[in-house]
A and B are shown apart, each in its own frame.
Chain A
């Protein structure tokens, strides 16, 4: 249809102007065109919503009307300086600035500026995007991330405390029993009573002191039960993906999230579950680093009893020799961190009545970690 093409490419002034106006008014972003003296020539529909002024009210006015005081004061100077020196500070660069609504509210926008030479002189076009929403999300995410980091520290301490308590318990038990056995043996043996028994008693006391320290440490660690509340799994997973990609843009890794339908609510500690999933996704993203295909798939599904969340990657999988110690504390091969990530994730899952398991070679070639959490987990039974 060459005819219609020719038609649509027609550059008669009226067609092109109508088209431009329609484009401007359809645009989601605010668009303002100003002349060399910063007077507003054009102000599109989106601007009306953004700033609260109607087009007729601002046309011909200085563009400063849309800026907070601090910017407005400098703006004329900026424009003058550019026209005099030709040094670009914003044109073609774009940046985050503050805008001002008619009612005085200041809000963040992303501003990009272009310029055009027209028969009527030099004109500047500003495109403005309201980023309040994005800012809110960023703030919420960075708060969530800070919370995750601090939770991770607390959990690492808990886990270490529990691991130390358990590891020390064994030799301490042996020491106490040995000492008590010697004491029994020496009782009644003439000449041994006095000093020897006295020293053994002291030894037993010290071992008991150590064991009390361990018990106190254990009680402290054991006090922390998950703080459960209803959790919407799809939302939680989307947040996890946002969290790991925050400020990284995914590093070239293709992240996909697939959530089954009618996912029931989970009664769980959302921060802890998020910590597990974020940890799994981060591990997966590390695993595909340097691989040709960099893909991480997150899937969630459920049956009558449990919700499962699987994180698979296209990396090399988990080597056989690492499998046995994968979930043990202090066994990690990564130089950063404490090697506690998976150990903690597993114990957090188990604290929720669930579990964390690995398939060393999953469907996408790499490892698949599956977190399984019971749907109706009653709060832990009292001791």
Chain B
């Protein structure tokens, strides 16, 4: 099933590569360099997928995830991070995202959840 995937990722290389691959898989993608850019955009709708890097400049990724959950939409939320485990634990602040993938990301790891 092809969906719209929002990618909130500050590393331009990762954002672009992720978007390109997901497009190859037939999905529609939008890349945002930070949480603020994502908020300025039209919010996601039921059935969308959102990939959020936990470590973002400005507003942290976990806050984006919290906001998305508060929307009560049918969204698939995937958190990604290249940080060490201890930093991830700090960023999560006791919460657990539904899906957490650690970088380096692989196609198979991603497609499993799409």
Interface string of B43-57 (1 = CB under 8 A from A): 000000000000000
Most chain A beta-carbon neighbours within 10 Å: one of B85, B104, B106 = B104
Contact of A177 among B14, B82, B85 (CB under 8 A): B14
Contact A169 to B103, CB < 8 A, known contacts A174-B16, A221-B84: yes
**A contact residues around B87 at 8 Å (CB):** 350
Contact of B21 among A165, A181, A347, A380 (CB under 8 A): A181
Question: Within 8 Å of chain A (Cβ to Cβ): is B89?
Answer: yes
Contact (Cβ within 8 A) A185 B24: yes
Whose C-beta in chain B lies nearest to the C-beta of A184?
B24
Question: Within 8 Å of chain A (Cβ to Cβ): is B1?
Answer: no
Question: Within 8 Å of chain B (Cβ to Cβ): is A22?
Answer: no
Give the CA-CA distance A178 to B23 in the complex, in Å: 11
Cβ of A115 to closest chain B Cβ, rounded Å: 66
Question: Within 8 Å of chain A (Cβ to Cβ): is B63?
Answer: no
Interface of A is mostly: helix
Interface string of A171-191 (1 = CB under 8 A from B): 111111110110011000000
Cβ of A83 to closest chain B Cβ, rounded Å: 71
Cβ of A278 to closest chain B Cβ, rounded Å: 22
Give the CA-CA distance A328 to B63 in the complex, in Å: 23
| Chain A, interface residues (CB within 8 Å), range | 20 to 34
Cβ of B76 to closest chain A Cβ, rounded Å: 18
Give the CA-CA distance A347 to B90 in the complex, in Å: 11
Cβ of B63 to closest chain A Cβ, rounded Å: 18
Contact of B14 among A166, A170, A207, A221 (CB under 8 A): A170
Question: Within 8 Å of chain B (Cβ to Cβ): is A222?
Answer: yes
Contact (Cβ within 8 A) B86 A174: no
Q: Which residues from 7 to 44 on chain B have a C-beta closer than 8 Å to any C-beta of chain A?
A: 11, 13-14, 16-18, 20-21, 23-25
Contact A180 to B107, CB < 8 A, known contacts A166-B82, A350-B86, A350-B90: yes
Whose C-beta in chain A lies nearest to the C-beta of B90?
A350
Interface size on B, residues (CB 8 A): 24
Give the CA-CA distance A175 to B85 in the complex, in Å: 23
Cβ of B29 to closest chain A Cβ, rounded Å: 11
Question: Within 8 Å of chain B (Cβ to Cβ): is A383?
Answer: yes
Contact (Cβ within 8 A) A170 B17: no
Contact of A172 among B83, B85, B89, B104 (CB under 8 A): B104
**B contact residues around A38 at 8 Å (CB):** none
Whose C-beta in chain A lies nearest to the C-beta of B12?
A174
Contact (Cβ within 8 A) A174 B107: no
Cβ of A125 to closest chain B Cβ, rounded Å: 63
Whose C-beta in chain A lies nearest to the C-beta of B53?
A170
Q: Which residues from 77 to 114 on chain B have a C-beta closer than 8 Å to any C-beta of chain A?
A: 82-87, 89-90, 103-107
Give the CA-CA distance A337 to B20 in the complex, in Å: 42
**B contact residues around A162 at 8 Å (CB):** 84
Contact (Cβ within 8 A) A351 B86: yes
Q: Which residues from 189 to 224 on chain A have a C-beta closer than 8 Å to any C-beta of chain B?
A: 207-208, 211, 214, 218, 221-222
Contact (Cβ within 8 A) A177 B103: no
Contact (Cβ within 8 A) B84 A218: yes
Contact A169 to B24, CB < 8 A, known contacts A177-B14, A214-B104: no
**A contact residues around B14 at 8 Å (CB):** 170, 173-174, 177
Contact (Cβ within 8 A) A174 B13: yes
| 21 interchain pairs, CB-CB under 8 A | A166-B83, A166-B84, A172-B103, A173-B13, A173-B103, A173-B104, A173-B105, A174-B16, A177-B14, A177-B107, A178-B17, A178-B20, A178-B21, A181-B20, A181-B21, A184-B24, A221-B84, A222-B84, A347-B86, A350-B86, A351-B86
Chain B interface residues toward A at CB < 8 A: 11, 13-14, 16-18, 20-21, 23-25, 82-87, 89-90, 103-107
What 9 new A-B contacts, CB under 8 Å, besides A177-B18, A177-B21?
A165-B82, A172-B103, A176-B17, A181-B23, A214-B104, A347-B86, A350-B87, A380-B86, A380-B89
